[in-house]
A and B are shown apart, each in its own frame.
Chain A
Amino acid sequence: DTAVSQTPKYLVTQMGNDKSIKCEQNLGHDTMYWYKQDSKKFLKIMFSYNNKELIINETVPNRFSPKSPDKAHLNLHINSLELGDSAVYFCASSQARTGTQYFGPGTRLTVL
């Protein structure tokens, strides 16, 4: 299936831990994104990469570090997890910065 995929789907962890979420797309797109959806369903952009170059870096704590090893992958590493980091994290991709964005299935992160 051509799609945007994310792993894991669910992530439950203790405060203070470090965790990573992985994203892969096989749509041949060159731009990828991370969004955070909070408990009120609000969707907010965190980061975006175009051809492995960081192009959007919103006001996000520096505990969050994205990494794009190639155009098809964008990972998100989170250090020293806090309760407020609990949310659903969506990866998305598009062809160019102006293309339609297609979302992955989301990763529900719960910090205890």
Chain B
Amino acid sequence: GENVEQHPSTLSVQEGDSAVIKCTYSDSASNYFPWYKQELGKRPQLIIDIRSNVGEKKDQRIAVTLNKTAKHFSLHITETQPEDSAVYFCAARSNDYKLSFGAGTTVTVRA
């Protein structure tokens, strides 16, 4: 099955700086890569996703890049704000339709 690795496990940034989270996946057939944000005690919420026919996607301060050859994808958050503090999960979906999640990155934005 699919195996997703996510780094770093924790990330502390100064408000206004950028944050980057990287994920790798094992199954070359994976074709859909969502990112979820989970605040403390809340549900995971989709913040951005990318499909395998696209290399980059941007939504305001959030962007995701995908390198199919290297089997890795990254989340970029620019101009971080305190409300960006949360746990972020990457995921990959392969032909079996299962969504395999990374272990999560706890992002702390220091004011």
The chain A residues found within 8 Å of chain B, CB to CB, are 40-45, 48, 55-56, 58, 90, 97-98, 100-106
Contact = CB atoms under 8 A, between A and B. Distances in A.
Chain A interface, >50% SS class: loop
B104 A42 contact: yes
B88 to A, nearest CB: 11
A48 B45 contact: no
Contacts of A42: 101, 103-104
Interface string B89-106: 100010011111101100
Contacts, number: 44
Contacts of A103: 36, 43-45
A43 B46 contact: no
B45 A40 contact: no
B97 A98 contact: yes
Contacts of B46: 100-102
Contacts of B104: 41-43
Given A43-B89, A90-B43, A105-B43, A97 B101 contact: no
Contacts of A56: 96-98
B21 interface: no
A105 B39 CA distance: 11
A43 B43 contact: no
A39 to B, nearest CB: 12
Nearest to A105: B43
A106 B104 CA distance: 17
